Amino acid sequence: MLNLDTSTPFGARVERRLQEDIVVWLTTVGGAQTPQPSPVWFLWDGETILIYSQPTTPKLRNIERTPRVALNFDGDGDGGDIIVLTGDARIATDQPPADQVPAYVAKYQDGIRGLGMSPKQFAQGYAVAIRVTPTTLRGH
C-alpha cells in the first residue's frame, strides 16, 4: 500500500489530482511484454483506485496475466507536474456496479451523459470493476 505524505507539497498535489482529475493513464503489460496505456476514469478512496471497464478488453486480459500496472497523470506540457504510481491490479468481482457507487456517479455524471448514457446504461456497458492498489510513487 502507498504511504502518501500529504504534508509535503508533492504529496498534497498527488492527493489533489487523485481526487480531482478526470482521467488517468492505466498501463498494463500486453502478451508480447509491450506496455499498453489506456486512458480511464477512476475513483480514489484514499487507499485504492477503482476503475470500470467494458468486458473483453485487452487491459482485463493483461491484468489477469500480469497484475503489475502503472498509472500516470498528464503532465503540464512542459515536462512538469509528473506523477506516476505503480501497483497491483485485480479484477474486483466483489465491487458493486458503477451506478451503485455514488461518488463515482457524482464524479462522472457529465461524462456519462456525454456518452449518451444513463448511469445504469454505463454500469451495464462498463460492467467489470478493477481495483488498483498503488505501492510506489514517483514524480516532480
Give a yes or no: residue 2 inside a domain: no
Strand extents, DSSP E, the chain: 23-29, 35-41, 43-44, 49-53, 68-72, 83-91, 128-139
- Distance separating alpha carbons of residues 116 and 125, to the nearest angstrom: 12
Give a yes or no: residue 16 inside a domain: yes
Tell me the pLDDT band of 1, cut-offs 50, 70 and 90: confident
Here the CATH number for the domain that contains residue 52 is: 2.30.110.10
Within 10 A of 34 (CB to CB), how many other CB atoms are there? Answer: 9
Give a yes or no: residue 104 inside a domain: yes
What is the extent of the structural domain holding 22? 9-139
Q: What pTM, to 2 d.p., does this model score?
A: 0.95
Collect all residues with Cβ–Cβ distance below 8 Å to 43 and sequence separation of at least 6: 49, 50, 51, 101, 103, 104, 107
pLDDT, one tens digit per residue, over 83-94 is: 999 999 999 999
pLDDT, one tens digit per residue, over 59-102 is: 999 999 999 999 999 988 888 889 999 999 999 999 999 999 99
Give a yes or no: residue 96 inside a domain: yes
Dihedral sign computed on CA atoms, order 107, 110, 113, 114: negative
Check whether 51 has a pLDDT greater than 90: yes
CB 117 within 8 A of CB 125: yes
Domain count of the fold of the chain: 1
Give a yes or no: residue 69 inside a domain: yes
Give a yes or no: residue 73 inside a domain: yes
Give a yes or no: residue 94 inside a domain: yes
- Distance separating alpha carbons of residues 102 and 107, to the nearest angstrom: 9
